[in-house]
Chain A
Amino acid sequence: MALQSGEKLPMFIGHVWSKQKSRWTLLGLRLLAFLAAAAATLVMVLNKQTKTFVVATIGTTPVNLTLTAKFHHTPAFVFFAIANGLVSIHNLVMIMVDLLGSKFDYKGFQLPMIASLDMLNLALVSGGANAAAFMAELGKNGNSHARWDKICDKFGAYCDRGAGALIASFLALALMLVISFLSILNLKLVNSSSHNSHNNIIALPN
């Protein structure tokens, strides 16, 4: 595959991508990841529990204290909701690009952009899920050294719903890992055709 000097070697051939069976696998995985991340966001944002405690009794009338547990009391859960929201939007946009994007000319940037964005969103969802997981562990077990009481025995439903959101987010994380590797593998498949021309090109005068 010797080229004349001055001719450009095409790096990414866009339409090789669209005829492969792995395209539908990737699309299905993206749909699942979108659903998992969206479910995690929704469950966390709508997570709220109110409980009334009796703190003292004056004479015969009890003194009540009403406490509410909301997700935005904890910054880690806010970060979790934002991260999962961003990841679900990313997957939605990638699905649309895959289905409707063949009309636009990306000048060879489509596949590397998809791979880079997948890696960045992988890091984002991993950070959000792990921060919320350790904060939930703190709420469940408390920390006797720092004199922090556990709160899950009083707010059981809040903790259960939070656990559900965490499970959905870890599922989205596993799916994003597979999607990211598949995107990078797609780069390799298309680019390996230009590897053989390496030796020919280096010998050309500059």
Chain B
Amino acid sequence: MAKTKRIIITILLRLLAFGATLSATVVMVTSHESAKVMNIKFSAKFSNSPTFKFYVTAEAIATGYGLIVLFLSSRRSVDRLIMILDVVIALILTSSISAALAVAQIGKKGDSHAGWLPVCNQVPKFCDHVTGALIAGFVAAIAYLVLNLYSLHVFLTPLFPV
């Protein structure tokens, strides 16, 4: 009974993380908008910024990993390897989301000291799209963190009544 409960919670967390990373990738890749400001065509795509390209790559790797592990999660022989890889993927996810958040914040508020104007006034739909992708990425990072702590707890509490 306790073993089934553990398996269910783990699979639910992995499904949540997989869904979040998948939606973050897809929403970020499909975000583009063009605006015409005083006869100059101003087009915003995710590939304009190396940070967002890194974000898409990291989330895509996490999605592929999540898909593979969903099919393998109950095998005992790869248990320890999966625990280690979970930590690595959580690390990649937190770095990509924090980097993308830093650049997105500059895009929204600008940086008056460096003379950088905010771009969200010209391309508001692009900004909303990117915000959605970032929220999904944030949920994925937190889900992987909770998954790591839960795996640690499962590892440390063998199944017998204390």
The yes or no answer to A89 lying at the interface (CB within 8 A) is no
Chain A contributes a number of interface residues (CB within 8 A of B) equal to 49
**B91 contacts A112, CB within 8 Å?**
no
CB of B99 to closest CB in A, whole Å: 4
Interface residues of A, Cβ cutoff 8 Å to B = 8-9, 11, 67, 69, 73-76, 79, 112, 115-116, 119-120, 122-123, 126-135, 137-139, 143, 145-149, 151, 177, 180-181, 184, 187, 191, 194-195, 198, 201-202, 206
If A131-B98, A143-B49, A145-B44 touch, does A181 touch B160 (CB 8 Å cutoff)?
no
Residue of A with least CB distance to B105? A75
Complex: A180 Cα to B87 Cα, angstroms = 10
On chain A, the residues within 8 Å of B111 by CB distance are 73-74
**Can you pick out 10 interface pairs between chain A and chain B where the beta carbons lie within 8 Å of each other?**
A122-B87, A123-B94, A127-B94, A131-B98, A138-B103, A149-B115, A181-B84, A187-B155, A202-B159, A206-B161
Q: Is B107 in the interface zone, CB < 8 Å from A? A: yes
Can you name the residue of chain B whose Cβ is closest to the Cβ of A120? B145
Q: Looking at the assembled complex, report how far the CB atom of A194 sits from the nearest CB atom of chain B, in whole angstroms.
A: 6
Residues of chain A within 8 A of B44, CB atoms compared: 145-146
Residues of A within 8 A of B107 (CB): 146
Complex contact B106–A133 (CB within 8 A): no
Q: Within residues 138 to 153 of chain B, which ones have a CB less than 8 A from any CB in chain A?
A: 145, 148-149, 152
Are A137 and B50 within 8 A (Cβ)?
yes
Q: Contacting B101 at CB < 8 Å: which of A11, A131, A132?
A: A131
Query: Chain B's nearest CB lies how many Å from the CB of A47?
Result: 14
